Structure 1
Amino acid sequence: MKELTTMNNTVKYWLVHPKVSKDLKAQIKAMSEQELAYAFNEKPLGFGTAGIRQKMGPGYRYLNDFTYAQMAFGYGRFLIDKFGFSPRCVIAHDNRKNGVHFAKIITDVLTSMGIEVYLFDNNKISSTPILSYAIPRYNADGGINVTASHNPKTDNGFKTYNEKGAQLLNQDAQKIIDFMPKSCEILNLEYQPNDRLVKFIPDEIYDRYFADIYRDLYTTDHKEVKDFKVIFTGQHGAASYWLPEMLRRFNYNVIPVKEQCKYDENFTYTKSPNPEARESWDLALKYAQHYGADIMLATDPDADRLAVAVKHNNEFRYFNGNEMGIIFAYYILKYKQLTKRPYIVSSYVSTNLIDRIIAKYNGVVYRVGTGFKWIGNKAIDHKDQEDFILGFEEAIGALPTTIGSDKDSFQTAALALEIYNECLKRKITMVDFLEREIYPQFGFIHNDTITTLINDLDWKKKANDWMERLKRYDQPYINDRKIVSIKWNQAGDCLDWILEDDSWIRFRLSGTEPKFKFYYNLYGNSLKQLKEEANQITKTLKRYISLIK
Structure 2
Amino acid sequence: MILFGTGGIRGIMREGEFDEKTVAVASKGVAEYMKMNGLKRVLIAYDTRNNSEKFAKLSASVFSGEGMEVYVFGEPVPTPVLSYGVRKLGMDMGVVITASHNPPEYNGYKVYTSNGVQAVPEVTDVLTELVKQAWNQPINAVEKYTVVPREVLDEYISDVAKVVNADLKGLKVVYSPLHGTGAKFVPKLLRMLGAEVIEVTEQIEHNGNFPTVKTPNPEDDRALELLRKYMEKHNVDLGLATDPDADRVGVVIKDVRLTGNQVGVLLSKMLIDSYLESGRNKGMLVKTIVTTDMVRPMCEESGIQLFEVPTGFKFIGDLVERHKELDFVFGFEESCGYLTGDLARDKDAVLACGLVAKAAVNFDLLDRMEELYKKCGYYLEKLINFEFKSVNQTLDVYEKLKQTKAKDVKEVIDYSRGYNGVIPNDTLRLEFDSGRIFVRPSGTEPKMKAYVMVKADTKEHAISNLEQLENKIKNIVNEILAC
Normalization by structure 2: what TM-score? Answer: 0.93
Deviations 1:445-500 (A, max 9, x none): 1122122355x5x3x222222223322331341xxxxx431121122421111234
Q: Indicate if the aligned counterparts of 1:347 and 1:492 stay in contact, CA closer than 8 A.
A: no
Q: Indicate if the aligned counterparts of 2:12 and 2:18 stay in contact, CA closer than 8 A.
A: yes
Within the candidate set 388, 393, 406, 1:462 is matched to: 393
Of 110-119 and 525-534, deviating more is 525-534
In the other structure, the counterpart of 2:419 is none
In the other structure, the counterpart of 1:16 is none
**Ranges in structure 2 where 5+ consecutive residues have no aligned partner:** 417-423
Q: Indicate if the aligned counterparts of 1:322 and 1:350 stay in contact, CA closer than 8 A.
A: yes
In the other structure, the counterpart of 2:157 is 210
Deviations 1:163-192 (A, max 9, x none): 011100111112112222547626xx3314
Q: Indicate if the aligned counterparts of 1:347 and 1:370 stay in contact, CA closer than 8 A.
A: yes
In the other structure, the counterpart of 1:519 is 451
Secondary structure at the aligned position of 1:47 is classed as: strand
Within the candidate set 246, 262, 268, 1:329 is matched to: 268
Tell me by how many angstroms 1:511 deviates: 6.8
- CA distance in 2: counterparts of 1:390 and 1:184, whole angstroms: 40
How many residues align? The count is 472
Of 538-547 and 265-274, deviating more is 538-547
In the other structure, the counterpart of 1:452 is 386
Of 198-207 and 324-333, deviating more is 198-207
Q: Which amino acid aligns with 1:105?
A: L
Q: Indicate if the aligned counterparts of 1:48 and 1:511 stay in contact, CA closer than 8 A.
A: no
Within the candidate set 139, 144, 149, 1:190 is matched to: 139
Secondary structure at the aligned position of 2:215 is classed as: coil
Secondary structure at the aligned position of 2:230 is classed as: helix
- CA distance in 2: counterparts of 1:80 and 1:190, whole angstroms: 15
Within the candidate set 19, 23, 27, 1:68 is matched to: 23
- CA distance in 2: counterparts of 1:135 and 1:184, whole angstroms: 27
Within the candidate set 89, 94, 110, 2:47 is matched to: 94
Identity %: 28
In the other structure, the counterpart of 2:207 is 264
In the other structure, the counterpart of 2:68 is 115
Within the candidate set 405, 413, 417, 2:357 is matched to: 417
In the other structure, the counterpart of 2:77 is 126
In the other structure, the counterpart of 2:306 is 365
Deviations 1:303-355 (A, max 9, x none): 111111101xxxx1111111111111111111122424211111111112212
The answer on 1:497 being equivalent to 2:430 is yes
The answer on 1:46 being equivalent to 2:3 is yes
Q: Indicate if the aligned counterparts of 1:380 and 1:402 stay in contact, CA closer than 8 A.
A: no
Deviations 1:247-271 (A, max 9, x none): 1111111111111111111110111
In the other structure, the counterpart of 1:487 is 413
Secondary structure at the aligned position of 2:174 is classed as: strand
- CA distance in 2: counterparts of 1:372 and 1:510, whole angstroms: 17
Q: Indicate if the aligned counterparts of 1:53 and 1:512 stay in contact, CA closer than 8 A.
A: no
Secondary structure at the aligned position of 1:106 is classed as: helix
Deviations 1:501-522 (A, max 9, x none): 7x32111124786532111221
Q: Indicate if the aligned counterparts of 2:454 and 2:465 stay in contact, CA closer than 8 A.
A: no
Secondary structure at the aligned position of 1:403 is classed as: coil
Of structures 1 and 2, the larger Rg is shown by 1
Q: Which amino acid aligns with 2:334?
A: E
Secondary structure at the aligned position of 1:545 is classed as: helix
Secondary structure at the aligned position of 1:167 is classed as: coil
In the other structure, the counterpart of 1:443 is 377
- CA distance in 2: counterparts of 1:181 and 1:409, whole angstroms: 33
Tell me by how many angstroms 1:294 deviates: 0.7
Tell me by how many angstroms 1:78 deviates: 0.8
Secondary structure at the aligned position of 2:269 is classed as: helix
Of 107-116 and 489-498, deviating more is 489-498
In the other structure, the counterpart of 2:421 is none
Within the candidate set 176, 198, 202, 2:127 is matched to: 176
Q: Indicate if the aligned counterparts of 1:343 and 1:390 stay in contact, CA closer than 8 A.
A: yes
The answer on 1:434 being equivalent to 2:369 is yes
Query: Which aligned pairs between 1:255-404 and structure 2 lie closer than 5 A?
Result: 255-311=198-254, 316-336=255-275, 337-382=278-323, 384-404=324-344
Tell me by how many angstroms 1:210 deviates: 2.2
In the other structure, the counterpart of 1:473 is 404
Q: Indicate if the aligned counterparts of 1:321 and 1:397 stay in contact, CA closer than 8 A.
A: yes
Deviations 1:263-284 (A, max 9, x none): 1111101111001111111111
Deviations 1:174-230 (A, max 9, x none): 2112222547626xx3314052xx111122223322222222235x12xx622x321
- CA distance in 1: counterparts of 2:164 and 2:443, whole angstroms: 33
Q: Which amino acid aligns with 2:49?
A: R
Q: Indicate if the aligned counterparts of 1:83 and 1:141 stay in contact, CA closer than 8 A.
A: no
Tell me by how many angstroms 1:142 deviates: 0.9
Q: Indicate if the aligned counterparts of 2:24 and 2:139 stay in contact, CA closer than 8 A.
A: no
The answer on 1:509 being equivalent to 2:449 is no
Within the candidate set 77, 102, 111, 2:32 is matched to: 77
In the other structure, the counterpart of 1:26 is none
Within the candidate set 225, 236, 240, 2:183 is matched to: 240
In the other structure, the counterpart of 2:420 is none
- CA distance in 1: counterparts of 2:387 and 2:116, whole angstroms: 31
Q: Which amino acid aligns with 1:64?
A: D
- CA distance in 1: counterparts of 2:90 and 2:158, whole angstroms: 20
Deviations 1:134-182 (A, max 9, x none): 1111110010011111111111111000001110011111211222254
- CA distance in 1: counterparts of 2:77 and 2:445, whole angstroms: 23
In the other structure, the counterpart of 1:104 is 57
In the other structure, the counterpart of 1:27 is none
**Ranges in structure 1 where 5+ consecutive residues have no aligned partner:** 1-38, 40-44, 424-428, 478-482
- CA distance in 1: counterparts of 2:446 and 2:285, whole angstroms: 29
Q: Which amino acid aligns with 2:269?
A: Y
Secondary structure at the aligned position of 2:292 is classed as: coil
- CA distance in 2: counterparts of 1:381 and 1:47, whole angstroms: 22
Deviations 1:344-392 (A, max 9, x none): 111111112212111112221111111011011111221x311111111
Q: Indicate if the aligned counterparts of 1:355 and 1:364 stay in contact, CA closer than 8 A.
A: no
- CA distance in 2: counterparts of 1:158 and 1:137, whole angstroms: 21
Secondary structure at the aligned position of 2:245 is classed as: coil
Query: Which aligned pairs between 1:12-51 and structure 2 lie closer than 5 A?
Result: 46-51=3-8
Normalization by structure 1: what TM-score? Answer: 0.82
Q: Indicate if the aligned counterparts of 2:377 and 2:458 stay in contact, CA closer than 8 A.
A: no
Inter-CA distance 512–348: structure 2 relative to 1 (3 Å threshold): farther
Secondary structure at the aligned position of 1:107 is classed as: helix
Q: Indicate if the aligned counterparts of 1:340 and 1:385 stay in contact, CA closer than 8 A.
A: no
Deviations 1:403-429 (A, max 9, x none): 110000011111100000011xxxxx3
Inter-CA distance 514–294: structure 2 relative to 1 (3 Å threshold): farther
Within the candidate set 96, 108, 116, 1:157 is matched to: 108
Secondary structure at the aligned position of 1:475 is classed as: coil
Secondary structure at the aligned position of 1:53 is classed as: strand
RMSD (CA atoms)? 2.0
